[in-house]
Amino acid sequence: MEPILRAVREDGDVLDAFYELNDPEIVAQMKENLHRWILILSNTGADDATNKEVRAALHQLGAAVFDRMLKDTEIGHNKTQVFRNKARKAKNVTTGSTNITYSGITCQSNNVISIESDELAELYADYWQRLKDDNSEQSEAFRMANAKLAKEIVMPDGKTKIQLCVAPNTKLRTKPTTGAPTPVDMGLVFDLMTNAKKSIHYLAFFPGFPSIISKIQELVGTRPDLLIRGAVSSAEAMPRDKIPQRPGELPVIVCASGIEVDFADWHKELLKLPERPCGDPR
């Protein structure tokens, strides 16, 4: 991973927060550079099946690993790395949708973004420290600190603006069956969707309800001027109520079709593909 390699080059370190970790190449890199990173590693369920072997191995090596062990009803879905320079000043953040597993890196359509910004990296570092200090409690103080909106950061181009939102950020630890208040981060997203000028494009895994999908259901009827297109991961993630299809237009939401087995088990499907030269666009 580039953040760790950069830490080696520049005598810095990396604040990691991961949900899953078992990719053998990345684990090997981490073992070779134990003093270049500090890791908060969540569990992947009651049995921690994905992480338990790597977790045990890193602890045995004396690595700086803090175990974030949550209840079955909670998930520590972090995927962030904050690079700090020799003076331990946060300089860069790497984040995205990619879990640090062999399937997450090599089999799935994930994304990673690296942002060079002292201000943003410092906000991520502050959040990392709150994660560590919370010690898996998911306490009200932790959640309310996360609910405070960070200042909007203007990037060096003078145009790009970033406002960091983190979770958990609700007063209630679990969502009530009815009347759930809108979290602050989703409130920002809904405002952006409401005030969209031309179009809304989205990809969603399991968005839940209410979510961007329920907001789209609303906008299809109230904003006929908007071009709305997107996809959800599976049939289970489709809206509970049908979204009306505008006459003469494509559906505003489709269900992504794919292989009906675990993402890590693509071997049989790959064998069905025709042989083509690497880079052949056909």
Summarize pLDDT for 177-229 with one digit per residue, the tens.
888 889 999 999 999 999 999 999 988 887 877 789 889 888 988 998 999 98
Q: Are residues 204 and 123 in the same domain?
A: no
| Peptide bond between residue 244 and the one before it cis (omega within 30 degrees of 0) | no
Asked whether 75 and 141 are in contact (CB, 8 A), the reply is no
As a whole number, mean pLDDT of residues 161-172 equals 95
Q: Where are the alpha helices (DSSP H) in the chain?
A: 2-10, 24-32, 52-60, 102-106, 118-134, 140-147, 184-194, 212-222, 267-271
Percent of the chain whose predicted confidence (pLDDT) is above 90: 66
Say which amino acid occupies 196: A
CB within 8 Å of 102: residues ≥ 6 apart: 22, 23, 24, 264
Residue 16 has pLDDT above 50, yes or no: yes
Split at pLDDT 50, 70, 90, the class of 233 is confident
Last-in-domain residue among 119, 138, 157: 138
Residue 280 has pLDDT above 60, yes or no: no
Residue 258 has pLDDT above 80, yes or no: no
CA-based end-to-end distance of the chain: 31
> Would 274 be classed as within a structural domain?
no
Q: CB atoms < 10 A from the CB of 14, how many?
A: 25
Q: Which of 38-52, 176-190, 245-259 has the lowest mean pLDDT?
A: 245-259
> Would 272 be classed as within a structural domain?
no
> Would 69 be classed as within a structural domain?
yes
Query: pTM of the entire structure?
Result: 0.85
Asked whether 81 and 16 are in contact (CB, 8 A), the reply is yes
The two structure tokens encoding residue 269: 């499907």
> Would 176 be classed as within a structural domain?
no
Enclosing domain of residue 129: 2-138
Q: Are residues 32 and 134 in the same domain?
A: yes
pLDDT of residue 43: 97
Instruction: Give the residues across from 201 on adjacent strands.
Output: 229
> Is the C-alpha dihedral spanning 245, 249, 250, 252 positive or negative?
negative
> Would 165 be classed as within a structural domain?
no
> Would 269 be classed as within a structural domain?
no
> Would 64 be classed as within a structural domain?
yes
Q: How many domains does the chain have?
A: 2
Asked whether 38 and 62 are in contact (CB, 8 A), the reply is no
Say which amino acid occupies 18: F
Number of H helices, E strands in the chain: 9, 11
> Would 275 be classed as within a structural domain?
no
Specify the 3-state DSSP secondary structure of 3: helix
Q: Are residues 117 and 219 in the same domain?
A: no
Dihedral angle of Cα 139, 144, 149, 153, to the nearest 10 degrees: -40
